[in-house]
Amino acid sequence: MTFLTIEHLEKSFGPNRVVKDFNLSVEKGEFVSLLGPSGCGKTTVLRMVAGFEAPSAGRIAIDGADVVRLRPNQRNIGMVFQAYALFPNLTVAQNVGFGLKVKGTPRAEIAARVAEMLALIGLPDLGGRYPFQLSGGQQQRVALARALAPKPQVLLLDEPLSALDAKVRVSLRNEIRAIQRELGITTIFVTHDQEEALSMSDRVVVMHQGVADQVGTPFEIYNQPATRFVANFVGTLNILEAEVIDPSLGHVRLPGGQARLGRPLPTGRVTLAARPEMVKLGAEGRDTALQGRITEVDFLGSVIRIRADLGGAVLAFDTFNTSHARPPRVGETVQLGLNAADLLVLQD
């Protein structure tokens, strides 16, 4: 049975439909990311789960119980904000203990839980400090501990890493994931950073203009994008417009050559896409060869980034640098190899 269920969720601000028929089922202990560009409605979905916004329509259930009518302070949900939002007048320990104190937990129990939480986030000695005496990363970890201390049923994180610098961001994301695994807490994580979403999540929801375009594991999202938007938003892609020669056999003509996809295709034209890492220089060992002229060679050290003109489309790909193979030169005509099975057929 799913633990958190969101069904047909809708939200409009005046005439503006911000979330449209959003559906999601999250298993207990699962880590799900909402990924999408700015303004696609990620925060709005999260705020409806937390109870800060009332849905225009739809159902949200946690552990079988409908929570839509509950106020935020009745939902038992932990929330971490992009801006940390620690209480500036309270020490770290008081911040972490806030939720328990509100519940009327005995003092000794609060102290024990606070110590446990501070150890969990790796800041056991900072309980007496005030928020302004902490770095951004430390503040966000305290915010995480504060959200987790009252043992919420669901943890919601709204771009918790966006305000941090790159190095802290990467280490903290690993830490958050480790803590989440250890506690087995059901988590929804909002981000517009695809790397964050792919690396942290059990499943990713790619959102686009208020709609969940695709829900799947990071592997599925990356390798089998369901829509053109998902394919474009996650990772880089080479787009190849192709003409279908034989719909039943999946035989197409595309810039620089032909390919046999071996799956049925619609008649007419289709849009195909190839991830840069699926393309290689030279066609040996690959079932599809495309002819192109090298237009750009960027030597980046371990990797050489190459762009080739296929006559109507540009194919970008990377090859590893090896000391014995010389890189291609600009203007050279080359064979580019790939497997037809790796070509994605994009729908709108």
Partner 1 sequence: MKKLLAWAILLLGITYFILPLVGMTEFSLSMRRGVYSLDAYRAVLADPRFHQTFGYSVIMALLTIVFGVLLVVPTAFWVQLKMPHLRPVVEFVTLLPLVIPAIVIVFGYIRLYNTSSWLPLTGTTFGTNLLLMLGYATLSLPYMYRAVDTGLRTIDVATLTEAAQSLGAGWTTILARVILPNVLVAVLSGAFVTFAIVMGEFTMAALLNRPAFGPYLQLMGANKAYEPFALAVIAFVITWACMGLIQLVTRFSKHTKAAR
Ligand X SMILES: Nc1ncnc2c1ncn2[C@@H]1O[C@H](COP(=O)(O)OP(=O)(O)OP(=O)(O)O)[C@@H](O)[C@H]1O
192 binds, among partner 1, ligand X, Mg ion, none (CB under 5 to 8 A by kind): ligand X
Binding mask 58-97 for ligand X (x = CB under 6 A): ----------------------------------------
Q: Is 54 in the site for partner 1 (CB under 8 A)?
A: no
Q: Which two tokens stand for residue 145?
A: 């501990």
Residue 281 pairs in a beta bridge with 336
Residue 11: φ, ψ to 5°: -145, 130
- Cβ atoms of residues 206 and 221 within 8 Å: yes
**Residues in Cβ contact with 40 at an 8 Å cutoff, skipping those fewer than 6 apart:** 207, 208, 209, 210
Please, which residue, 155 or 254, has the CB nearer to partner 1?
A: 155
| Residue ranges in 42-61 that form contacts with ligand X under rule CB under 6 A | 42-44
| Residue ranges in 78-97 that form contacts with partner 1 under rule CB under 8 A | 78-79, 81, 83, 85-89
| Residue ranges in 33-72 that form contacts with Mg ion under rule CB under 5 A | 43
Q: Cβ of 55: how many Cβ atoms within 10 Å?
A: 21
Q: Cβ of 208: how many Cβ atoms within 10 Å?
A: 19
What is the C-alpha separation between 97 and 92, in angstroms, rounded?
9
**Residues in Cβ contact with 75 at an 8 Å cutoff, skipping those fewer than 6 apart:** 50, 51, 62, 67
Q: Which of 6, 32, 35, 40 binds ligand X (CB under 6 A)?
A: 40
| Residue ranges in 123-152 that form contacts with partner 1 under rule CB under 8 A | 130-132, 143, 146-147, 150
What is the C-alpha separation between 7 and 21, in angstroms, rounded?
8
Please, which residue, 39 or 72, has the CB nearer to ligand X?
A: 39
Q: Is 35 in the site for ligand X (CB under 6 A)?
A: no
**Interface contacts to ligand X, rule CB under 6 A:** 13, 16, 18, 36, 38-44, 192
**Interface contacts to Mg ion, rule CB under 5 A:** 43
**Interface contacts to partner 1, rule CB under 8 A:** 50-52, 71-79, 81, 83, 85-89, 98-99, 102-103, 130-132, 143, 146-147, 150
